[in-house]
C-alpha cells in the first residue's frame, strides 16, 4: 500500500508520390546519408536532393516534403546530435520551439515533455515507427528518461494535435525518433561528472537491395540525490540494443524490420513511514522495454503502400531493500499495433493519403488484474500540391470497445509568397481515450470520457536550413476539454478545461562558412479555464540559443548553448512556485585525422541551482569528455 500512496502523491502534484523504386523514408537507410547526416539522394522530389531537416513523416504518416505541410514541424538531424554531445537526449529536444521539460532528479529519472502546454501524456512518441505507449503507466505516456541518445539519428517533432493521421495519444503532438542508419562503423566513449560513463557502438551495412544497422550501448552514473535536500546519490544504469533493416524483394516491394530493447535501473527517493515526508531512501526501480516492428512497403506507378505489425512491452518493478530483495510493486503493459497507410496520385497535383490501424493493449499490476482494450480507426486526407499552394484536409473515425465511435477532422495549408517567404496554417482536432490504468487501476473510474482538443496555428517562414537562413514566427492556440485529473484520495475524474496559447519565434543562420547560430523563443499562456490557475510546470517564457564556430586551428569546433526558462508553478493550485533559471553550456570538438575526434563540454557553467519539479534535485556544474571513432 505504500507504493499506492506514493503513486497518488505524485499524481496529485504530468505530397507528391515517391519516385519509382525508392522506399518511403520510414525505412530511411544509410546509403542516402553523408557523414554529416544530410540526405544526398532523395526519395521524395525526383532527382532533387533534400536535406534531412526538410522532410517529414509526422504530417501524414508517409514521408513528404516539409514545405508541403502547413503544420509546425521541427527536426534534429544526426549532425545536430553529434554537435550537442552526450547521452541525455533531452538536451537535443529542448532546442526546439514550443517545448519545456520536467525531470524528477538526475539522468534516467522520470522525464516529462510539454509541447505547447499539452500534458506530456498527450504526446505520441514513436521509435522507428513503433508507438511507445506504456499502457501500465497511470496516464499511458512514454517516460523520456528511459530514452538516451545512443543509436539515434533523427528526431522530428510535430507541435499541435494530429489525431487525424495518428489517432489517440496525438492530442498534443507527435515525436518521431529514427535510428541512425549510416553505413560503416562508429564507436564512442564518454566520461564525466558523477562518475558518468556512456559507451556506444554502431554499425551499418548497405547494398543495392539491402540495408542493416545495429547499435548497442551502456550508460551508468552515480547520479545526484533525487531529493533536492538529500545527501545520498541516486545512481542510474542502462543496457540497450537496437537495430533495423530492409531488403528489397523487388524493384517496388521492400521488407522492413526494426527492434529495440532497453534494461534500466534508477534509484529514487520517496516518502518513508511514519512521517511520509520526502527524504533520502534506498528505493529503486527497474524497467525492461522491448519493442519491434515488421512491415512491407510498396512504391510504383503513383501508388505508395506501407503496412506493418508492431509490439511494445514495458515491465517495471519497484524495490525497497528495507523490506527485502523481492519487488514490492510490479506493472506490466503491452500494446500490439497494426497499421496500413497509402498514397495515390489521383490527378496532376492531387493526392489521396489513406490508412487504417488497430491497437490491442493490456495492463496489470501487483494489485490490479489484467485488463484489455481495443481501438481501431481509419482516415483519409485529400491533398492539392501546386506550384505555390499546398492544401490538405481530411477526416478520421475511431472505434473504441468502451467509448464507441469518435470523428476527428483537420486541415492545413502552405502558400509560397515568393522571395523565400511562405505562409502556413493548420486546424485540427485531437482526442485521447482514458488509459486502462485510469479506468481500472488505483483510483480508477470506468465513467471517464475521452479527452478532446481543438487547435489552430498560423505563421510565416522565410528560407530554409538548407539555404543557410531560416526564420519563422507562429501563433497558436489549443482548447482542451474533459481533461482527466487525479484528485487524491478520490481518484480520476474529468475535471479539466484548459487553454494554451502563445507564439513561437525561431531562426537558424549560417553567418559565415565557419559560424552557425540558432535561436528559438516561446511565449506560452497555459491556464486551467475552470480555476484560472496556470498549468503546472509550464513557464510562460522559454528561450534557447546556440552558436558553433569552426576555428582555423586544426578544424577545432567551439560551441555554446544558452537555455532560459521563466517562472512557473509546480502544482495545479499555483501554491508552489518554481523560479526561472538560465543554463549555459560550452562545447568543443577536435578532429584527429579522418577517423577520430575528441570532444568535451561543460554544462551549467555558472553552477545555477534550479528545479523543474519541486523538491527534486538537478545538476550543478558538470564536465564531460569523450572520443569518437568512425570507419
Lowest pLDDT segment from 11-20, 83-92, 200-209, 448-457: 11-20
Q: Is the pLDDT of residue 3 over 70?
A: no
What pLDDT does 526 receive? 94
Q: Is the pLDDT of residue 92 over 90?
A: yes
Residue-level pLDDT at 50: 58
For 115-126, how does the pLDDT look when each residue is reduced to its tens digit (9 = 90+)? Answer: 999 988 889 999
Higher pLDDT, 540 or 302: 540
The range of the structural domain enclosing residue 513 comes to 2-181+240-536
For residue 616, tell me if it sits in a domain. no
pLDDT at 258 over 50: yes
- At 312, which CATH number? 2.40.170.20
Among residues 4, 573, 536, the alpha carbon closest in space to that of 270 is found at 4
Could you tell me if residue 87 is inside a domain? yes
Report the pLDDT averaged over residues 529-549.
94
How far is C-alpha 286 from the chain's CA centre? 22
Nearest to 136 by CA among 371, 297, 407, 478: 371
Tell whether the model's pLDDT for residue 112 goes beyond 50. Answer: yes
* Residues present in the chain in total: 631
pLDDT digits (tens, 9 = 90+) for 432-487: 888 888 898 888 888 898 999 999 999 999 987 667 899 999 999 999 999 888 87
Residue 186 lies in a domain: no
Bridge pairing between strands 577-578 and 389-400: unpaired
* Structure-model confidence comparison of residues 23 and 127, the more confident one: 127
Q: Average pLDDT, stretch 88-117?
A: 94
Q: Does the residue 588 lie in any domain?
A: no
Can you give the pLDDT at residue 16? Answer: 30
Segment 541-557 shows an average pLDDT of 95
Helices (H), 461-531: none
What digits encode the pLDDT tens for the residues 481-504?
Answer: 998 888 777 788 887 789 999 999
| Residue 20 confidence (pLDDT) | 29
Within 410-465, residue ranges assigned H as helices are: 436-440
Helix or strand run (H / E) with residue 188: strand 184-192
Res 256: pLDDT:
95
pLDDT band at 51 (very low <50, low <70, confident <90, very high): low
In a domain, 542, yes or no: no
Instruction: Please count the CA atoms within 13 angstroms of the CA of 440 that sit on its side-chain side.
Output: 16
The mean-pLDDT minimum among 202-206, 414-418, 440-444 falls in 440-444
For residue 18, what pLDDT is reported?
29
Q: What does the alpha-carbon distance between residue 281 and residue 277 come to, in Å, rounded to a whole number?
A: 11
Q: Does the pLDDT at position 188 exceed 90? A: yes
Residue 195: strand pairing partners: none
What nine digits make up the cell of 128?
522507428
Among 6-15, 120-129, 613-622, where is mean pLDDT lowest?
Answer: 6-15
Q: What is the pLDDT of residue 310?
A: 96
Nearest 5°: phi and psi at 207? -130, -170
Taking alpha carbons only, the member of 27, 360, 88 closest to residue 219 is 88
| pTM, full prediction | 0.90
* 357 within domain boundaries: yes
Q: And the C-alpha cell for 283?
A: 528505493
Gap between the Cα atoms of 285 and 238, Å rounded: 12
Asked if 255 and 246 touch (Cβ cutoff 8 Å), the reply is yes
Task: Lowest mean pLDDT of 161-170, 194-203, 259-268, 278-287, name the range.
Answer: 161-170
Q: Which three cell numbers stand for residue 536?
A: 503546472
Q: Which of 5-19, 173-187, 288-302 has the lowest mean pLDDT?
A: 5-19
Residue 535 has φ and ψ, to the nearest 5°, of: -65, 140
610 pLDDT exceeds 80? Answer: yes
- pLDDT of 43 > 60? The answer is no
Paired strand residues for 64:
56
Q: Reply yes or no on whether the pLDDT at 140 is more than 90.
A: no
Peptide bond preceding 456 in cis form (omega within 30 of 0): no
Tell whether 582 is covered by a domain. Answer: no
DSSP three-state, residue 83: helix
State yes or no: pLDDT of 25 exceeds 60. no
Position 163 pLDDT exceeds 90: no
Three-state SS letters, 246-313 = EEECCCCEEEEEEEEEEEEEEECCECCCCCCCCECCCCEEEEEEEEEEEEEEEEECCEEEEEEEEEEE
Please give the Cα distance from 534 to 528 (Å, whole number): 6
Please, are residues 557 and 525 in contact by the beta-carbon 8 Å criterion? no
Q: What is the pLDDT of residue 4?
A: 42
pLDDT surpasses 80 at 45: no
Cell triple for residue 298? Answer: 510498396
Q: What share of residues in the chain are helix, strand, coil (percent, to 5)?
A: 10, 55, 35
- Domain count across the chain: 1
Say what the pLDDT of residue 100 is: 93
Answer yes or no: is pLDDT of 543 > 60.
yes
What would the mean pLDDT of 422-437 be, rounded to a whole number?
A: 91
The neighbouring-strand residues paired with 400 are 375, 404
Q: Is residue 559 part of a domain?
A: no
Amino acid 26: pLDDT: 36
Determine the Cα–Cα distance for residues 169 and 433; give it in Å rounded to an integer: 8
| Among 276-290, 358-372, 478-492, the least confident range | 478-492
pLDDT computed for residue 623 by the predictor:
98
What is the chain's mean pLDDT, rounded? Answer: 88
- pLDDT (average), residues 269-285: 87
Amino acid at each position: 500500500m505504500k507504493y499506492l500512496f506514493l503513486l497518488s502523491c505524485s499524481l496529485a502534484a504530468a505530397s507528391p508520390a515517391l519516385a519509382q523504386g525508392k522506399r518511403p523514408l520510414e525505412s530511411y537507410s544509410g546509403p542516402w546519408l553523408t557523414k554529416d547526416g544530410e540526405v544526398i539522394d532523395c526519395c521524395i522530389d525526383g532527382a532533387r536532393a533534400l536535406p534531412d531537416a526538410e522532410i517529414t513523416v509526422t504530417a501524414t504518416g508517409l514521408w513528404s516534403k516539409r514545405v508541403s505541410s502547413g503544420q509546425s514541424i521541427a527536426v534534429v538531424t544526426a549532425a545536430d546530435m553529434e554537435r550537442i554531445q552526450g547521452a541525455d537526449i533531452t538536451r537535443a529536444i529542448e532546442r526546439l520551439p514550443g517545448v519545456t521539460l520536467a525531470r524528477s532528479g538526475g539522468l534516467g529519472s522520470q522525464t516529462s515533455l510539454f509541447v505547447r502546454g499539452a500534458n506530456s501524456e498527450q504526446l505520441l512518441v514513436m521509435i522507428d515507427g513503433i508507438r511507445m505507449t506504456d499502457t501500465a503507466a497511470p496516464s499511458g505516456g512514454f517516460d523520456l528518461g528511459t530514452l538516451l541518445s545512443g543509436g539515434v539519428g533523427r528526431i522530428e517533432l510535430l507541435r499541435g494535435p494530429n489525431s487525424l493521421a495518428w489517432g489517440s495519444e496525438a492530442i498534443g503532438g507527435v515525436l518521431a525518433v529514427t535510428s541512425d542508419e549510416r553505413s560503416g562503423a562508429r564507436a564512442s566513449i564518454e566520461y564525466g561528472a558523477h562518475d558518468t560513463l556512456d559507451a556506444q557502438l554502431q554499425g551499418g551495412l548497405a547494398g543495392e537491395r539491402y540495408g542493416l544497422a545495429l547499435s548497442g550501448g551502456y550508460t551508468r552514473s552515480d547520479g545526484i540525490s533525487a531529493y533536492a535536500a538529500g545527501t545520498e546519490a541516486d545512481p542510474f544504469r542502462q543496457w540497450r540494443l537496437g537495430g533495423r533493416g530492409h531488403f528489397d524483394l523487388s524493384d517496388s516491394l521492400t521488407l522492413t524490420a526494426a527492434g529495440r530493447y532497453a534494461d534500466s535501473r534508477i534509484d529514487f527517493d520517496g516518502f518513508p513511514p511514519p512521517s511520509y515526508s520526502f527524504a533520502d531512501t534506498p528505493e529503486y526501480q527497474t524497467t525492461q522495454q522491448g519493442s519491434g516492428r515488421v512491415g512491407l512497403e510498396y512504391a510504383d506507378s503513383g501508388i505508395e503502400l506501407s503496412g506493418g505489425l508492431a509490439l511494445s512491452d514495458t515491465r517495471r518493478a519497484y524495490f525497497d531493500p528495507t523490506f527485502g530483495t523481492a519487488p514490492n510493486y510490479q506493472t506490466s503493459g503491452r500494446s500490439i499495433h497494426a497499421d496500413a497507410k497509402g498514397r495515390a496520385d489521383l490527378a496532376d497535383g492531387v493526392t489521396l493519403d489513406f490508412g487504417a490501424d488497430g491497437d490491442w493493449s493490456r495492463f496489470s499490476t501487483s494489485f490490479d488484474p489484467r485488463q484489455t482494450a481495443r481501438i481501431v480507426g481509419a482516415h483519409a486526407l485529400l491533398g492539392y500540391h501546386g506550384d505555390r499552394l499546398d492544401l490538405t484536409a481530411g477526416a478520421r473515425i475511431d472505434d473504441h470497445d468502451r467509448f464507441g465511435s469518435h470523428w476527428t477532422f483537420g486541415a492545413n495549408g502552405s502558400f509560397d509568397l515568393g522571395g523565400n517567404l511562405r505562409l502556413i496554417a493548420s486546424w485540427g482536432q485531437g482526442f485521447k481515450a482514458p488509459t486502462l490504468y485510469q479506468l481500472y487501476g488505483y483510483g480508477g473510474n470506468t465513467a471517464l470520457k475521452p479527452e478532446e482538443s481543438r487547435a489552430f496555428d498560423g505563421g510565416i517562414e522565410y528560407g530554409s536550413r538548407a539555404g543557410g537562413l531560416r526564420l519563422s514566427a507562429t501563433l497558436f492556440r489549443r482548447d482542451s476539454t474533459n481533461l482527466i485529473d487525479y484528485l487524491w484520495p478520490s481518484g480520476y475524474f474529468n475535471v479539466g478545461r484548459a487553454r494554451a496559447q502563445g507564439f513561437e519565434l525561431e531562426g537558424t543562420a549560417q553567418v559565415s562558412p565557419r559560424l552557425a547560430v540558432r535561436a528559438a523563443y516561446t511565449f506560452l499562456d497555459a491556464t486551467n479555464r475552470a480555476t484560472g490557475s496556470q498549468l503546472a510546470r509550464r513557464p510562460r517564457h522559454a528561450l534557447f540559443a546556440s552558436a558553433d564556430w569552426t576555428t582555423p586551428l586544426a578544424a577545432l569546433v567551439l560551441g555554446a548553448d544558452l537555455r532560459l526558462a521563466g517562472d512557473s508553478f509546480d502544482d495545479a493550485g499555483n501554491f508552489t512556485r518554481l523560479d526561472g533559471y538560465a543554463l549555459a553550456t560550452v562545447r568543443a570538438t577536435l578532429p584527429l585525422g579522418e577517423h577520430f575526434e575528441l570532444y568535451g563540454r561543460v554544462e551549467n557553467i555558472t553552477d545555477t541551482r534550479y528545479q523543474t519539479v519541486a523538491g527534486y534535485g538537478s545538476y550543478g556544474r558538470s564536465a564531460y569528455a569523450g572520443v569518437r571513432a568512425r570507419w
